[in-house]
Amino acid sequence: MAEYLTVSTLTKYLKAKFDRDPYLERVYLQGEVSNFRQGQYFYQYFSLKDEKATIGAQMPTRDFQQLNFTFENTLKVLCIGRVSLNDKRNQVTFTVEKIIPDGVGELALRLEELKKRLTAEGLFAENHKQAIPQFSKRIAVITASSGAVIHDIITTVDKRFPLSDVVLFASKVSGPGSVEQLVARIEEVNRREDIDLLIIGRGGGSIEDLWSFNEEAVVRAIYNSQVPVISSVGHETDTTLADFVADVRAATPTAAATFATPNTKADLLAWLGEQEVRQQRALSNVIVNFQERVDKLSHSVIFRQPERLYDGFVQKVDYLTERLSSLTEQKLGQNEHRYELASDKLLPAFAKIVENRRNRVDNLYQSLLLLDISKIKARGFAIVTKSDGKIVKSVKDVETGELIALELGDGKVSAEIK
């Protein structure tokens, strides 16, 4: 006998089939909006239809409020979502996750999906962005070898900061092979150690023309760049993923060159002028400090009484002489008997040693006396000084009619240069 199912059992079975079907988890659907009436609900409800069929649809109100276009009946749309079955009403429902007008096309959907995934990975995070150098000695530009982009950048940089060199890394910027070339040029720039900044971009165009700058490989190459990157892709109204990942986004090539040279030639000259003033002040302070030290040393007791320089040596010589004599007598007393036995040999030798030591001491003393300025003056020499106290060392130091002072052994006299 056949077993009959209840309606609820059948609908629950069908719902489970819907929920487990992998093909219904993510469905890309094209259709026309109908039966839409905006309400204050958790979901916004409407239908999607074509010439042959209609399916009920719903979208969370919080996502619906983020739409940047007017959602209305008869609008043709492209949707991404999932299909489910309401087991209580036995009604198939399409829950919309993303929706765009049909005119935007598949590329816009791909762009939105990639942007969401890369955002979740942190590629567009502000804390990863690098600062633009204040002064860039060499600026790399990745763009087409001909066209207005490179011309505008070179012209602007030359006007604002002609000390910067602009180096072109030519690359295809659209079409087959452009993605590979763009990635290769970014990596090439990063292998160079003389590049301070990178500008990457192209002129305006359709989304297809700009698509190379939305490719994941290009976005990741910019993200991994150790050289700061300024993106200038398309016109001001155009936005690519390269703009999001770059350290700075510029609306035009001219704006990119302006960002690349935040300080102009006039700014640099003003800065150099300030540095010159600071260096002059610092140098002047150093000179004043050294002059004060020289003045302090020139008035010290050593310069006023130079004989004090060798007082210590003389005292040490006297001390050593006395100590030597004392030790000699002590040794003689302790070894008197031994010395008596060997007096014929030791006494002459010892006397000679003592005489040599005394001669050395006398020589040292005489040498020190030669350095005594008072002794030098006593022999008829004089120290000649100018009115400001400076010592005259050469006839070139004085002029005719100038008053000088002569410091002799027993006093000072003044004289006039004839």
pLDDT surpasses 90 at 207: no
Per-residue pLDDT, 341: 66
Q: Distance between CA atoms of 44 and 47, rounded to whole angstroms?
A: 10
Contact 233, 213 (CB under 8 A): yes
Coil, helix or strand at residue 272: helix
Determine, yes or no, domain membership for 221: yes
Kindly report, residue by residue over 146-193, the tens digit of the pLDDT.
888 999 999 999 988 888 899 999 999 988 999 999 999 999 999 999
Contact 78, 22 (CB under 8 A): no
Band (pLDDT 50/70/90 cuts) for residue 222 is very high
Determine, yes or no, domain membership for 1: no
DSSP state of 130: P
Clarify whether residues 231 and 279 are in a common domain: no
Clarify whether residues 18 and 29 are in a common domain: yes
Clarify whether residues 80 and 147 are in a common domain: no
Of the CA atoms within 13 Å of residue 270, those in its CB half-sphere come to 5
Q: Distance between CA atoms of 349 and 315, rounded to whole angstroms?
A: 28
Contact 147, 168 (CB under 8 A): no
Per-residue pLDDT, 219: 95
Q: Distance between CA atoms of 113 and 143, rounded to whole angstroms?
A: 27
| pLDDT higher at 11 or 185 | 185
Pairing of strands 165-170, 248-249: unpaired
pLDDT surpasses 90 at 291: no
Clarify whether residues 312 and 358 are in a common domain: yes
- The domain that contains 27 carries what CATH number? 2.40.50.140
Kindly report, residue by residue over 12-54, the tens digit of the pLDDT.
888 888 888 888 888 999 999 999 988 888 999 999 999 899 9
Mean pLDDT of 115-120: 91
Determine, yes or no, domain membership for 112: no
Clarify whether residues 220 and 326 are in a common domain: no
> What DSSP letter does each residue of 81-119 carry, written as one string?
EEEEEETTTTEEEEEEEEEEETTT-HHHHHHHHHHHHHH
Contact 189, 140 (CB under 8 A): yes
Clarify whether residues 98 and 19 are in a common domain: yes
Domain hosting 287: range is: 267-299
Q: What percent of the chain has pLDDT over 70?
A: 89
Clarify whether residues 295 and 394 are in a common domain: no
Coil, helix or strand at residue 6: coil
pLDDT surpasses 60 at 10: yes
Q: Distance between CA atoms of 137 and 404, rounded to whole angstroms?
A: 61
- The domain that contains 187 carries what CATH number? 3.40.50.10550
Number of domains in the chain: 5
Burial of 266 (0-12, 13-18, 19+ CB in 10 A): exposed
Determine, yes or no, domain membership for 111: no
Clarify whether residues 335 and 282 are in a common domain: no
